[in-house]
C-alpha cells in the first residue's frame, strides 16, 4: 500500500484572486484543503509608526491610503477619534455630510467587492457593470475634495471645504444609477445557477465561531448576528436615520453576498434621508488653535493666518489619555486607538483593521473544503491588503 | 454597565484591579499581569454581562514619559459586549525587561493574530501562544518597529547573504 502524501502549495503572493499580495500556504490532499496558513506582511509600510511621528493633522492622509477602496470611512474614523481626544464637537451639517459620504463609500467598496468577487468566480461581466456604476461615486469624491481615490476630504473638526453646490443633485444621480445597476447585478448573480453553486454552503462560519474570531461587519452579520456599530454606538449623526441591519442566516458566502447588496440599498435609504433634511451651517468647527480656519479667513484675517501657520508648523498639544473610536466601515469595525501624551504628536495610533482580523479566520473557512473554494472564501471576506498589512 | 463590571471585578478579583480610568467616556481598568487570564475567563463566562467579543489587543510604549515608572509597556485589551453595546478596556502594565503576559488564544481564537502583531511590533511575549512568530515584518527582521527607541529612518539590509557586509550604499 502506498502512503498518502499531501501536497504543499503556495497560493500567492502574486495570484490574481488573492486581491493583492496575500500568500496562503496550503496543504492539499487531492482536491481537499487539509491546512491553510495565510502569510501576510508583503505590503507592510509602517503606517502606524509614521503616524506616530507626525502632527495630528498631517497623519490624516495616511488613513485613506490603508483602505484605498473606502477612503472616506477611514478618514471619518480617524477624525472622530482625534475629535474625541481633543473634545471637539463638530457642526450638525458636518456630521450629516460625513454620514452621507461614508454611506456612498460603503456603496463604492461593496461595488468593487461584488465586481471582483464575481470576477473571481467567473462572472466576468459583473466587474464591468460594477465599475461603471462606481465611477459616479468617484465623480462626487472629485467634486468634493478634488481627488478620486485618496480623498482626505474629512479634516479634524470638519471638512476640507464646503460641499459643492450641486451635491444634492449628484447624490440623487448616483442613487438613481446604482439602483438601476442593482437590478442588473441581481439578474447576473443572485439567480445565477453557477454563482449559487459556487457560493452556497461555501466558506461557512457559525455565529459562535464568528464571535470567537472577533469578526465584524458583513462577516459577523452573515452568520446571523445583528450587530452594526451605526446602530449599537451611533456616531456622526446616525441616531437620526432610519435603516435596517440586514443579516444572513447560514453564514456562507452567498449570504454575505446578499447582505452586501442589501446594505447598498440601506445606504441609499440613509443618503436620501440626509439629502431631505440636510441642515445649514458652517462646514468646520470653530476651535482656534486646533481646527484649521477656513481658507478664505486665512487670506483676509490676521488671526486666522496666525492660527493656520501655528497649526501647520507646531500642531496642537493633545492631553494625556487614550481614546478609541470605532466606526462601521464597509469591511467591519475599523477603530482608531489614539494615545496622547501631552505633546503635539500622538504617542500611539493603533488602527484596528477589520480586514486583518477577519482574514485570521480564513483557515476556519477553508479547511476541509475544496481547493477551488479557497478563492471564494478569500473573496467573501473582502480583504484589502493595504489595510491588512498597514 | 460600568458599575456592574466594577462590582464583578471587585467581588471576584479584589486585589487584582489596580485602578481605573475614564477618559472621554472610555472606561478602562488597570489590572495586574498575572490576573489577566483568570479575569478574561471569568468575564467570558459571566452570563448576564455577556462580554464575549474581544475587539482588539494593542500596546503602548511609554518610554521617556513619566508614567513609564509603572512599567514601560502597556498592553490594552479592548472588550465589547454585543448585547449591551458596551465597550471597555483592560490595561496591563509590563516592565521594560522581558515583558510577558499570558496569551488569550485559549479563550478567543481571534487573539492569535492580534497577539502576534503586538509581539512583532513591541517584542512583548505571550505565554502559551501556539505560534508566536512575526506577522507583518519579514522573517529575520531585527528589533520591534513600534518601540520608541526604534528609529523611524533606519533601514535594515534584509538579505542574509550580505547582512554582515552590506554594500556601500546601505552602510
A323-333 tens-digit pLDDT: 999 999 999 89
Neighbours of A325 (CB within 10 A): 23
**CA distance linking residue A139 with residue A151, whole number of Å:** 11
Write out the three cell numbers for A115.
465586481
What pLDDT sits at residue B115? Answer: 92
Return phi, psi of residue A308, to 5°. Answer: -60, -50
For A362, nearest residue in chain B (alpha carbons):
B110
- Could you report the per-residue pLDDT of B5-14, keeping only the tens digit for each? 888 888 888 8
pLDDT (average), residues A105-123: 89
pLDDT of residue A41: 87
Tell me which residue in B21, B110, B136 faces A44 most closely, judged by beta carbons.
B136
pLDDT at B157 over 70: no
Nine-digit cell string for A100? 452621507
| Interatomic CA distance for residues A103 and A110, integer angstroms | 11
- Residue A60 contacts residue A155 (beta carbons within 8 Å): yes
pLDDT, tens only, B114-138: 999 999 999 999 999 998 888 988 8
Output the pLDDT for position B11: 83
User: For the residues A15-38, what does the mean pLDDT come to?
Assistant: 85
Between chain A and chain B, how many beta carbons pairs sit less than 8 Å apart? 109
pLDDT at position B2 is 80
Say whether pLDDT at A78 is over 90: yes
Q: Residue A148 gets which letter from DSSP?
A: S
Distance to chain B for A349, nearest Cα, Å: 9
Query: Rounded to an integer, what is the distance from CA A218 to the centroid of its chain?
Result: 11
Q: In this predicted structure, which of A40-54, A144-158, A197-211, B141-155 has the lowest mean pLDDT?
A: B141-155
Residue range A253-265: mean pLDDT, rounded: 90
Substitution target in A41, A89, A214, A239 with the highest count of B β-carbons within 10 Å is: A214
Query: How would you class A51 by CB atoms within 10 Å of its CB: exposed for 0-12, middle for 13-18, buried for 19 or more?
Result: buried
pLDDT at A296: 84
Closest CA to A211 of B134, B54, B2: B54
Q: Pick from A179, A194, A69: which is nearest to A124 by CA? A: A194
CA distance A236 to chain B (A): 16
For range A55-66, the mean pLDDT: 89
Residue B162: pLDDT over 70: no
Please name the helix (run of DSSP H) or strand (run of DSSP E) that holds residue B118, with its range, or none: helix B111-122
Count of Cβ atoms closer than 10 Å to residue A352 Cβ: 23
Q: Which residues of A touch B140 (CB under 8 A)?
A: none
Helix (H) or strand (E) holding B31: strand B26-31
Identify which of B26, B113, B134 has the shortest CB distance to residue A356: B113
Whether A324 sits inside 8 A of B89 (CB atoms) is yes
Mean pLDDT, all residues of chain B: 85
**Residues of chain A neighbouring B57 (CB-CB closer than 8 A):** none
Assess whether pLDDT exceeds 90 at residue A338. yes
Chain B: residue nearest A38 by CA? B135
Decide if A321 and B138 are in contact by the 8 Å CB cutoff.
no
pLDDT at residue number A79: 92
- Check: CB of residue A103 under 8 Å from CB of residue A270: yes
Write phi, then psi, for B81 (nearest 5 degrees): -105, 115
Distance, CA of B60 to CA of A52 (rounded, Å): 11
With contacts defined as CB-CB under 8 Å, which chain A residues touch B113? 356-357, 359-360
* Res. A54: pLDDT tops 80: yes
pLDDT, position A122: 82
* Helices (H), ranges, chain A: 47-52, 60-64, 71-86, 92-120, 124-145, 167-185, 193-199, 207-212, 218-221, 229-232, 253-276, 295-300, 302-313, 354-359, 362-366, 372-381, 385-389
pTM recorded for the entire structure: 0.90
Nearest-Cα residue of chain B relative to residue A342:
B65
Candidate from B23, B136, B138 with C-beta closest to A321: B23
Which pLDDT score, from 0 to 100, does residue A152 have? 87
Least confident of A284-288, A371-375, B157-161: B157-161
User: φ and ψ at A34, to 5 degrees?
Assistant: -90, -45
Q: Which of residues 1-20 of B touch A (CB under 8 A)?
A: none
| CA–CA dist A114, A129 (Å, integer) | 10
CA dist., res. A20 & res. B96, Å (int): 37
Among chain A residues, the shortest Cα distance to B82 is held by A227
* Cα–Cα dist B15/A77, whole Å: 36
pLDDT tens by residue, B20-70: 888 888 888 999 888 888 888 888 888 778 888 899 999 999 988 888 888
| Residue % of chain A over a pLDDT of 90 | 24
How confident is the model at residue B83, as a pLDDT?
A: 86
pLDDT at B163 over 80: no
Q: Chain B partners of A322 at a C-beta cutoff of 8 Å?
A: 23, 26, 28, 60, 76, 89
pLDDT of residue A379: 87
Amino acid at each position: 500500500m502506498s502512503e498518502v502524501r499531501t501536497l504543499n502549495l503556495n497560493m500567492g503572493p502574486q495570484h490574481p484572486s488573492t486581491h493583492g499580495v496575500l500568500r496562503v500556504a496550503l496543504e492539499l490532499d487531492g482536491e481537499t484543503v487539509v491546512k491553510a496558513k495565510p502569510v501576510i506582511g508583503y505590503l507592510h509600510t509602517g503606517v502606524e509608526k509614521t503616524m506616530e511621528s507626525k502632527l495630528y493633522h498631517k497623519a490624516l492622509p495616511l488613513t485613506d491610503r490603508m483602505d484605498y477602496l473606502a477612503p472616506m470611512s477611514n478618514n471619518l474614523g480617524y477624525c472622530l477619534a482625534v475629535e474625541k481626544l481633543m473634545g471637539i464637537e463638530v457642526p450638525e451639517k458636518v456630521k450629516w455630510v460625513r454620514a452621507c459620504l461614508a454611506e456612498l463609500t460603503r456603496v463604492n467598496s461593496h461595488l468593487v467587492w461584488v465586481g471582483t468577487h464575481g470576477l473571481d468566480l467567473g462572472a466576468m461581466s459583473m466587474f464591468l457593470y460594477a465599475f461603471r456604476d462606481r465611477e459616479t461615486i468617484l465623480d462626487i469624491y472629485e467634486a468634493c475634495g478634488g481627488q478620486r481615490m485618496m480623498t482626505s476630504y474629512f479634516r479634524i473638526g470638519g471638512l476640507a471645504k464646503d460641499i459643492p453646490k450641486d451635491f444634492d443633485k449628484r447624490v440623487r444621480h448616483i442613487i438613481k444609477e446604482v439602483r438601476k445597476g442593482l437590478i442588473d447585478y441581481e439578474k447576473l448573480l443572485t439567480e445565477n445557477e453557477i454563482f449559487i453553486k459556487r457560493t452556497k454552503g461555501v466558506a461557512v462560519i457559525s455565529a459562535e465561531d464568528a464571535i470567537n474570531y472577533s469578526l465584524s461587519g458583513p462577516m459577523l452579520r452573515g452568520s446571523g448576528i445583528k450587530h452594526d456599530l451605526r446602530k449599537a454606538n451611533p456616531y456622526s449623526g446616525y441616531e437620526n436615520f432610519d435603516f435596517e441591519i440586514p443579516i444572513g442566516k447560514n453564514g456562507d458566502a452567498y449570504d454575505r453576498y446578499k447582505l452586501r447588496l442589501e446594505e447598498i440599498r440601506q445606504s441609499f435609504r440613509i443618503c436620501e434621508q440626509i439629502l431631505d433634511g440636510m441642515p445649514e451651517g458652517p462646514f468646520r468647527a470653530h476651535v482656534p488653535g486646533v481646527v484649521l480656519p477656513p481658507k478664505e479667513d486665512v487670506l483676509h484675517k490676521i488671526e486666522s493666518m496666525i492660527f493656520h501657520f501655528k497649526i501647520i508648523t507646531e500642531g496642537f498639544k493633545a492631553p494625556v489619555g487614550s481614546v478609541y473610536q470605532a466606526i462601521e466601515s464597509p469591511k467591519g469595525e475599523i477603530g482608531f486607538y489614539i494615545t496622547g501624551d501631552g505633546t503635539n504628536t500622538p504617542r500611539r495610533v493603533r488602527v484596528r483593521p477589520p480586514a486583518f482580523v477577519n482574514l485570521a479566520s480564513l483557515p476556519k473557512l477553508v479547511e476541509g473544503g475544496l481547493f477551488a473554494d479557497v478563492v471564494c472564501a478569500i473573496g467573501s471576506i473582502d480583504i484589502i491588503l493595504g489595510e491588512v498589512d498597514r | 454597565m460600568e458599575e456592574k463590571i466594577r462590582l464583578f471585578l471587585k467581588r471576584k478579583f479584589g486585589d487584582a484591579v489596580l485602578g481605573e480610568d475614564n477618559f472621554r467616556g472610555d472606561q478602562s481598568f488597570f489590572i495586574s499581569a498575572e490576573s489577566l487570564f483568570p479575569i478574561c475567563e471569568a468575564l467570558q463566562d459571566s452570563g448576564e454581562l455577556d462580554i464575549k467579543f474581544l475587539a482588539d489587543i494593542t500596546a503602548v510604549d511609554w518610554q521617556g514619559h513619566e508614567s513609564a515608572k509603572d512599567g514601560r509597556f502597556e498592553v490594552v485589551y479592548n472588550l465589547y459586549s454585543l448585547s449591551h453595546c458596551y465597550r471597555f478596556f483592560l490595561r496591563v502594565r509590563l516592565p521594560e525587561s522581558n515583558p510577558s503576559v499570558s496569551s488569550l488564544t485559549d479563550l478567543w481564537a481571534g487573539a492569535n493574530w492580534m497577539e502576534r502583531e503586538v509581539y512583532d511590533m513591541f517584542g512583548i511575549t505571550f505565554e502559551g501562544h501556539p505560534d508566536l512568530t512575526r506577522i507583518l515584518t519579514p522573517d529575520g527582521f531585527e528589533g520591534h518597529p513600534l518601540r520608541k527607541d526604534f528609529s523611524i529612518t533606519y533601514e535594515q539590509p534584509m538579505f542574509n547573504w550580505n547582512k554582515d557586509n552590506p554594500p556601500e550604499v546601505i552602510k
